[in-house]
Amino acid sequence: MEVFAYLIPYGLEWLNLIVRWLHIITGIAWIGASFYFVWLDNSIRPPAPGSELARKGVSGELWAVHGGGFYHPQKYLVAPAELPKELHWFKWEAYTTWLSGFALLTIAYYFNAQAMMIDQSVADLSSLQAIGIGLASLVVGWTVYDLLCRSALGKYDFWFGVVVFALLVAASWVLTHFLSGRAAYIHVGAMIGTIMVANVLMLIIPGQRKMVAAMAAGGLPDPVHGQRAKQRSVHNNYFTLPVLFIMISNHYAMTYRHEHAWLVLAVIMAAGVFIRHFFNLRHKGRTEWRYPAIGVALLLAVAVAIAPKPPAARAAAAAAAQAAAPVSQFGKVQAVMAQRCVACHAAAPTQPGFAAAPAGVMLENEAEIRQNAEKIYKQTVQLKAMPLANLTNMTDDERALVAAWFESGAK
């Protein structure tokens, strides 16, 4: 039983690794296909009037060379006159990306909500409450977005984009006032990802199925289905850069640990939208450098705004206060943390190469150590993954001390 309990965290690490790898692979396939088709749609040119292609109903074509071969993709205004025998559906790239992403969210966050989702300095929640808030954000995000798309606002691309961006910023603000910064960011990303895959599942693929069914029945497809699918596909295209940043944000605690983390995220997402818009216009033959300039300016502004302040001179350690009394078990653990961990896990790390505490975990005081007790035990005792590369030379006796403290109830 003891061996089994010891192997659980190791097994979860492997599960985390495999699912994360799958998520990245399928995400590349989905976003790559999205980028390609938006580029293709913006790059195709109408065939010559009266040409055979024009008579066939082709609205645009493109010649390309890749991998030693020539390609000639064509887009029909509504549909070809005859339904092809083989028709590829781009859907499983999206579905598998969301399924693997939700599995990863469950493994990394929901299985360890107390350490990964709860920051008691933000809100004193139970694990179930934190998970409930996270799941609710996914449902509410999609519902509000879809209702906006179906409203009259959905006909006005610019104002629709402004309102949806405001919705995401509002969600960021709410989540950072209930969850830890890291969990708040990842749930904003999960909300965007849910909207994107729901667009595919609920609108794009059903619309395409109706078009195919109409052709199979010998009728003419209703172009409205294609128009709706195109609208949602374009929305997904603009969501991609913000969601990609959020996927990697857990490595950059300087963003999600900031006191205005929601605003930091809003500015970075806006930068991604401006940069994506530049590429979309460029594919149409318009090069407008003001958009990437705005994006870069926003990134520079947020980098300056959240830059760490020079650490103030610290008072001499007050260890002498307990010199006359026996040191408690926790006192010994805290001393180990101070010697082996705090160089990195501090508000102002002294370890070279660290501008912020890794993963936002700080261990400078009793409250922080107790809040992260399970994570400390897992990383330093069970996995021996920390200190990173054992830079601070934590000894086996010190790991045993941490283990004894945690296993006795982390008193």
Same domain, 351 and 245: no
Quick check: is 179 in a domain? yes
Contact 296, 271 (CB under 8 A): yes
For residue 194, how far is the Cα from the chain centroid? 11
Do the bridges between strand 69-71 and strand 58-61 make them parallel or antiparallel, or are there none, so unpaired?
A: unpaired
Same domain, 128 and 59: no
Which residue shows structure tokens 């926790």? 330
Contact 401, 395 (CB under 8 A): no
Quick check: is 361 in a domain? yes
Contact 57, 51 (CB under 8 A): no
Same domain, 55 and 150: no
Q: How far apart are CA 256 and CA 171, in angstroms?
A: 14
Q: Is the pLDDT of residue 404 over 90?
A: no
Quick check: is 93 in a domain? no
State the average pLDDT over residues 96-125: 90
pLDDT of residue 316: 38
Return all residues near 162 (Cβ < 8 A) that are at least 6 apart.
Answer: none
Look at the pTM and tell me if it is higher than 0.85: no
Say which DSSP state 322 is in: G
Same domain, 340 and 379: yes
**Where residue 5 falls among pLDDT bands split at 50, 70, 90?**
low
pLDDT of residue 178: 96
Q: How far apart are CA 226 and CA 371, in angstroms?
A: 51
Which residue shows structure tokens 């690794």? 17
Radius of gyration of the chain, Cα coordinates, nearest whole angstrom: 26
In this predicted model, what pLDDT tens digit does every residue of 195-248 receive, in sequence order?
Answer: 999 999 999 888 888 888 887 777 777 778 878 888 898 899 999 999 999 999
Quick check: is 103 in a domain? no
In this predicted model, what pLDDT tens digit does every residue of 157-189 receive, in sequence order?
Answer: 999 999 999 999 999 999 999 998 889 999 999
| Helix 223-248 / helix 157-176 crossing angle, nearest 10 deg | 40
Domain count, the chain: 3
Tokens linked to 350? 């002294």
In this predicted model, what pLDDT tens digit does every residue of 314-370 receive, in sequence order?
Answer: 333 334 433 444 567 888 899 999 999 998 898 888 887 676 788 788 899 988 898
Same domain, 301 and 336: no
Same domain, 41 and 158: no
Tell me the CB-side half-sphere exposure of residue 201, using CA atoms within 13 A. Answer: 16
Q: What is the mean pLDDT of the chain?
A: 86
DSSP 348-369: S--STT-SS-GGG---SSHHHH
Same domain, 135 and 166: yes
Q: Is the pLDDT of residue 254 over 70?
A: yes
Same domain, 33 and 72: yes
Q: Which domain holds residue 6?
A: 1-77
Contact 387, 341 (CB under 8 A): yes
Same domain, 295 and 339: no
**Where residue 311 falls among pLDDT bands split at 50, 70, 90?**
very low
3-state secondary structure of 153: helix
Which of 259, 290, 305 is the last residue in one of the domains?
305
Q: Is the pLDDT of residue 306 over 60?
A: yes
Quick check: is 323 in a domain? no
Same domain, 301 and 332: no
Same domain, 202 and 55: no
Quick check: is 173 in a domain? yes
Which residue shows structure tokens 């645009």? 60
Which residue shows structure tokens 């402004």? 162
Q: Which range (141-155, 247-261, 313-327) has the least confidence?
A: 313-327
Contact 397, 367 (CB under 8 A): no
Greatest pairwise CA separation for the chain in angstroms: 98
pLDDT of residue 236: 93
Q: Which residues pair with 76 in a beta bridge?
A: 58
Which of 305, 340, 370 is the last residue in one of the domains?
305
Preceding peptide of 326 cis, ω within 30°: no
Of the candidates 9, 240, 35, the one whose C-alpha atom is nearest the C-alpha of residue 108 is 9
Which of 77, 97, 125 is the last residue in one of the domains?
77
Q: Which residues pair with 60 in a beta bridge?
A: 75
Quick check: is 148 in a domain? yes
**Where residue 28 falls among pLDDT bands split at 50, 70, 90?**
very high
**Where residue 3 falls among pLDDT bands split at 50, 70, 90?**
low
Neighbours of 338 (CB within 10 A): 16
Same domain, 55 and 164: no
Quick check: is 278 in a domain? yes
Tokens linked to 326? 């026996």
In this predicted model, what pLDDT tens digit does every residue of 269-289 receive, in sequence order?
Answer: 999 999 999 998 998 889 999
Q: To the nearest whole percent, how much of the chain has pLDDT over 90?
A: 41
pLDDT of residue 287: 92
Neighbours of 285 (CB within 10 A): 9
